[in-house]
Structure 1
Amino acid sequence: MTDSSNEEGLRIEIDDSVAILTLDMPSNRNAFGADVAGDYTRFLVDANTRQDVRSILIRSTGDRDFCLGGAPSKTPVAAPRNLFDYRAVSTAHIEMFKALWEVERPVVSAVQGTVAGVGWLLALLADMVVAARGSRWTHVFVKRGMIPHAGDSFYLPRIIPFHRLNEIALLGDTVTADTLSDWGIINRLVDKEEVADTAMDLARRLAEQPTRAVGLAKRHYRRSLEVDWNTMLREEMAGQAIYTTSADRNEILAAGLEKRKPVLTGD
């Protein structure tokens, strides 16, 4: 296992092909700014070509707060000079969530405590979500005098049923992970003591899958939300053709013929 940093911010560890991304900013209740968003983005972009990363686990320190949203960067940012300058305020978070949406490695989030603001995207853009019973989720933007941003208005309608999303976003009421589980948004609802182990178990299982097949499946499901039928089927066909050249696919075929368990490397 390797650890990239001991300071407050984003800690990155690799444990047997599982990349563990820990948001470790307890003094700020795990709210994070542009600098930490940039750390996420750089890792997620690189992850697609890293042989030592076959799945990703996103979590936070402590059980009080998963993430309370955005925060000022450690590096001072110049004050906006006019209305148009405000467009740049959320750029770093937009790039981060784009990278999280597009990363081809499977992602699991482990959620405990309070989730607010962009914390929703950090949790729900994972492929599988493990959450503690009773954890509190507050969309918060409207009540803070803001509108949803950082990609919220693109991603959440693709994840949360439309009328449920309106209730969450327009009223700003707090809901629990129990409610989100009832709506089909949480994969595993467990006691808080079980969140870490349950999420890691899923991440390890995903790391044992044929990595390139998983990545192409992820890409295709997301693309299907944005393109027409003909485009999607052609991309699916191209992906299938590409995957037939992978080492894991050929190992699976050989193992089937030889009646043994395949040994997958992620290639």
Structure 2
Amino acid sequence: MADVTWELRDLRFGYGREPVLRGIDLTFEPGHLYGVVGPNGCGKSTLLDLLAGHLKPGTGRVLLNTVPAHTLPPAVLAPLAALVPQDGRFTFPFTVSEAVLMGRHPHIPRFSRPSQRDLDAVRAALETMDMAHLAHRSLNELSGGERQRCMVARSLAQATPALLLDEPTSSMDIRHGLATMAELVRLVRERGRTVIAVLHDLNLAAAHCDRIVMIDKGAIHTSGTVSEVLTPDAIREVFGVTAQTIPHPGSDRPVITFTQEP
């Protein structure tokens, strides 16, 4: 499995005349779990779409392994990076198993049936996301959190060296949210994957991510380690709330408490 590295240089993007991202310089490398944080509307989801090659930069570059991401055809992109969107919708009433099997399409030759390896990958992904007992359930019958777990399972079945996830745990209960983040950490540690997740829960990001990118008004406010980025000053400047941090008793990672500013 090939590694995936993204390089963003002086990236600028906007919808029409409305700027969304400006002056973005970042590198995302294998073996790291990156958390992208920032207020609503700051450009986080747009950043993922640019990384996935769905959008063309206004100016600047988004390079995936030295090639502009937006120039790569889907057949080349799909085996490299899986995207878990914020709101995964399906037009037809697929079953959970059928939806997860879609993640195997980049590995199945045209006009061929899924191999045993494909079916095994689907089964493993369902078990990892605690969805095996729902394999034959229609997606229309799932709760929001269950549907979200199905979308993550589909990306795991896709078996790509890179994962892009837009708020992957926002609808999940605590147990499944923590289990999902633990699986992302495992993929980074044991498989050397490149994982980039947009997260709203700063404590979830602090507990699991290696690097944090904090975006404010379309620009990078701070980028670096958890301790470098998730500081009370940065949180106040970007989110407009008062924050205090204390070290977690089992690690040197910060635990954050918040107070609404008057």
**TM-score > 0.5, shorter chain as reference:** no
Larger strand percent:
2
Larger helix proportion, structure 1 or 2?
1
TM-score (norm 1): 0.30
Higher relative contact order (CA 8 A, sep 6+): 2
